[in-house]
Amino acid sequence: MNRKFVAVLASAFLSACTVGPDYAPPAAPVSQHYDRQAEDRLSLNGKIDADWWSAFHSPKLDQTMQKAIDGSFDLAIADARLAQASEGVRAAAGGLYPQVDFGDQIGRARTDTSPAPSTSSFYAVGPVVSFDLDIFGGTKRQIEQQEAAAEAERHRFDAAWLTLTGDVASQAILFASAQAQIDAVQVLLADDRKNLDLLRTAHLHGGVALPDVALAETQLAQDETLLPPLAQQRDAARHALSVLAGQGPADWIAPDFALTDFELPSDLPVSLPSELAHDRPDILEAESKLHASSAAIGVATADMYPHLTLSGSVTQAGVPFQAGTALWSTAAGLAGPIFHGGTLEANRQGAVDGYQASLAAYRRTVVRSLGQVADVLQALNHDSEEYWAQERSLGSAGTSLRLSRDGYRVGETGALQVLESERAYQRAVLGEIRVKTARYLDSVQLFVALGGNSKTGGYKSYSHSPSAANQ
């Protein structure tokens, strides 16, 4: 009997296998281009630095970015979830080891085997050991599933990192843009007031009709409406930077950014579409979820097969307050499903369906990412076209202003014409500020769309967090 028992165990070990599909990463995107027209003046196969915002060469932005990284609640939340997922891996891995528990029992028992039945007290105390041999790999698949879930949380952290840094850069640029537009509108309003004063003076002397004065007053009132929205944009951007840094707007005030604090990146490193799947954290997260779904099929499949468990115990048993007797036992148990009303088959098929849903979600994420990069590349092209058109407009307005001033000096033009030329020039300045802002913001969006090289950034750079440092 002992030889047969050993033979059964040996056979179980030799036949051990891990059921379910072995995960294979999906193929990289076959696309070689995002948008051929948008790539005319770009060289693909570039690589983005981890601190991608340094391409704007703004010390103020660097300092604000570090402040936000150190104080971000979003990163703290993502970091804690990553630590939680890592503990889930450890918890699942515990199933590969023997489980040791402590048990004790005390009670009374009646014995009827003798002519005089007796009742006595008893106790039993000692450790109990059990070990699931995992002959079909259900526990291993659970560990694989938890590891994939932890990997998804790591990429989710990287996505939070990328979103945070993109938001900080965008809000800093919006703050600088609003302030620059406010300054330009202030000059514009000064020109409006000069124009109105001249018209009022001319009207008093009979040189200008009253409707012209009313028109100038209307123009001043209309231009004054430009200031409140710009001030709101500036204040909202300042508040947003405080919140991104984990501070209340009254507790920490971001620096006063100006557009001159930024330099437009001269060379934007654009990675190939095939590399995008290895750089963008949302794609990597979707792939990790696909991996977890694949492992879930193995878990559900293993539940359809028997479980072989070894157990043993060492017990001190006897009558209370008297010396007990040491007892030990070992056993092997084999339990397998016979009829569960279709539950196990449905669970496995549900896991297969879940894998197909995760695969479709992964492919959708990849396609949307390609579309997002193509949109930003086209936006940058259109920004460039609009910028040069605006530069020509600004140049023409500047030439008109210079000629008007020269004509005024020699008496060929009036003061009103000079003021109108100044006003047109300030309008062109406003247009240039808006176009320049769009170029900066779209450059930020391109860095974010390409993934910001989260593989060398993200949680590895988040060294101030104790839990992250322990990963």
Q: Where are the domains of the chain?
A: 20-97+136-305+343-469
Residue 15: pLDDT over 60: no
Closest residue by Cα to residue 131 from 310, 347, 263 = 310
Residue 174: pLDDT over 80: yes
Q: Please report where in the chains the tokens 């406003």 appear, as a residue.
A: 430
Q: Which residue has the higher pLDDT, 31 or 141?
A: 141
In sequence order, the β-bridge partners of residue 315 are 327
pLDDT tier at 203 (50, 70, 90 boundaries)?
confident
pLDDT tier at 43 (50, 70, 90 boundaries)?
low
Residue 77: pLDDT over 60: yes
Cα 461 to Cα 426: distance, rounded to the nearest angstrom? 44
pLDDT at 103: 78
Which of 247-261, 331-345, 385-399, 448-462 is the least confident region? 448-462
Q: Number of helices (H) and strands (E), helices first, in the chain?
A: 11, 4
Residue 458: pLDDT over 60: no
Q: For residue 341, is it left (φ>0), alpha (ψ between -120 and 50) or beta?
A: left
Whether this prediction's pTM lies above 0.75 is answered by yes
Q: Which residue has the higher pLDDT, 180 or 311?
A: 180
Which of 1-10, 334-343, 361-370, 386-395 is the least confident region? 1-10
Task: Round to the nearest angstrom and report the end-to-end CA distance of the chain.
Answer: 50
Which alpha helices (H) appear in 410-459, and where do they start and end?
Answer: 415-449
Phi then psi for 101, rounded to 5 degrees? Answer: -125, 165
Q: Which two tokens stand for residue 302?
A: 């293993």
Q: Is residue 426 classed exposed, middle or buried when 0-12, 13-18 and 19+ CB atoms within 10 A define those classes?
A: buried
* Domain covering 20-97+136-305+343-469, topology: Outer membrane efflux proteins (OEP) (1.20.1600)
Which alpha helices (H) appear in 255-342, and where do they start and end?
Answer: 273-279, 281-302
Closest residue by Cα to residue 291 from 160, 154, 163 = 154
